[in-house]
């Protein structure tokens, strides 16, 4: 088997991009908030973020979590925000480059150079980030496939979402590696028989290193 017969399928938010937990400083500057105003840290401090704990316990959905953070952040600037897209665009503005994970950049470029297929499988790419943000996002044109439940209405961990991604890249499921930071989505991949990496946003380099290993790509910095 050659590397040209493999595919890397990536979740977008948290895997390709740095999370909003990691960019509080950027958000606070963009919104004119005092440093330290935003204190919710999700996976970086689960004990200090009860709403995140509820999401991880599946008492609320990921979308529910982010809608609550959207509304409360909007209130901090005296506005009524009713969609995640407003939050992301106001928090990150035109500087899409700031939120691209460097480890993601290295792996995407290495995969493309090796002739692998590249795909995004997201539950809310345009719903959260907006079409214009996506269009100017670095490296987005390198992806062969973008499957976004904003339009399909089929959210991970629905098995149909994984089937759509595998069909779109045109390869056997065993020749694909799926990377996602949400456990429920990884459980969906397990059920679908899709090779996977459960991405740890607190250890992004290690997670991408595992994906690269599974794909037969060289380690970062290797020839």
Please check the confidence at residue 111 and state whether its pLDDT lies above 70. yes
Mean pLDDT of 112-126: 96
| Confidence band, pLDDT 50/70/90 cuts, at residue 181 | very high
pLDDT at 93: 62
Q: What mean pLDDT comes out for the span 165-174?
A: 98
Whether the pLDDT of residue 12 is over 90: the answer is yes
Distances (CA, A) of 155 to 9, 109, 161: 15, 27, 6
Mean pLDDT of 14-42: 95
3 pLDDT tier (thresholds 50, 70, 90): very low
- Mapping DSSP to helix (H, G, I), strand (E, B) and coil, where does residue 9 land? strand
Domain spans of the chain, in order of start: 3-17+100-215, 24-96
* Beta pairing class for 117-122 and 176-180: unpaired
pLDDT of residue 222: 45
Query: How many Å apart are CA 143 and CA 197, to the nearest integer?
Result: 19
Average pLDDT over residues 1-30: 87
What secondary structure does DSSP assign to 162-200, as a single string? HHHHHHHHTS-GGGEEEEES-HHHHHHHHHHT--EEE--
Integer Cα distance of 208 and 203 in angstroms: 9
Q: Express each pLDDT in 133-153 by its tens digit.
A: 888 888 999 999 999 999 999
Higher pLDDT, 132 or 204: 204
> Given this model, what pLDDT does residue 94 score?
59
Question: What is the percent of the chain where pLDDT is above 70?
Answer: 95
Mean pLDDT estimate for the chain = 92
Query: Which pLDDT belongs to residue 223?
Result: 34
Q: Is the dihedral of CA 47, 185, 147, 104 positive or negative?
A: positive
The mean per-residue pLDDT over the stretch 162-184 comes to 97
Q: 99 Cβ partners below 8 Å, 6+ apart?
A: 17, 18, 23, 26, 92
Kindly state the percentage of the chain with pLDDT values over 90: 79
For 3-17+100-215, CATH number out of 3.40.640.10, 3.40.50.1000, 1.10.150.20, 3.20.20.140 equals 3.40.50.1000
């Amino acid at each position: 088997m050659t590397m040209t017969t493999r595919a890397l399928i990536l979740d977008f938010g948290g895997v390709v991009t740095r999370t909003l937990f990691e960019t509080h400083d950027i958000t606070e500057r963009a919104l004119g908030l005092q440093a330290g105003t935003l204190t919710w840290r999700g996976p970086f401090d689960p004990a200090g973020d009860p709403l995140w704990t509820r999401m991880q316990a599946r008492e609320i959905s990921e979308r529910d979590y982010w809608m609550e953070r959207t509304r409360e952040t909007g209130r901090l600037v005296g506005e009524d925000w009713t969609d995640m897209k407003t939050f992301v665009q106001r928090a990150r503005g035109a500087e899409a480059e700031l939120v691209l994970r460097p480890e993601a950049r290295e792996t995407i470029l290495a995969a493309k150079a090796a002739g692998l297929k590249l795909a995004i499988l997201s539950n809310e790419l345009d719903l959260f980030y907006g079409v214009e943000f996506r269009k100017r996002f670095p490296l987005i044109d390198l992806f062969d496939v973008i499957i976004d439940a904003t339009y399909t209405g089929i959210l991970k961990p629905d098995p149909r979402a994984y089937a759509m991604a595998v069909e779109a890249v045109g390869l056997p499921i065993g020749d694909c590696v799926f990377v996602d930071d949400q456990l429920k989505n990884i459980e969906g991949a397990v059920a679908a028989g899709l090779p996977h990496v459960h991405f740890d946003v607190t250890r992004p380099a290690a997670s991408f290193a595992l994906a690269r290993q599974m794909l037969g790509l060289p380690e970062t910095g290797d020839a």
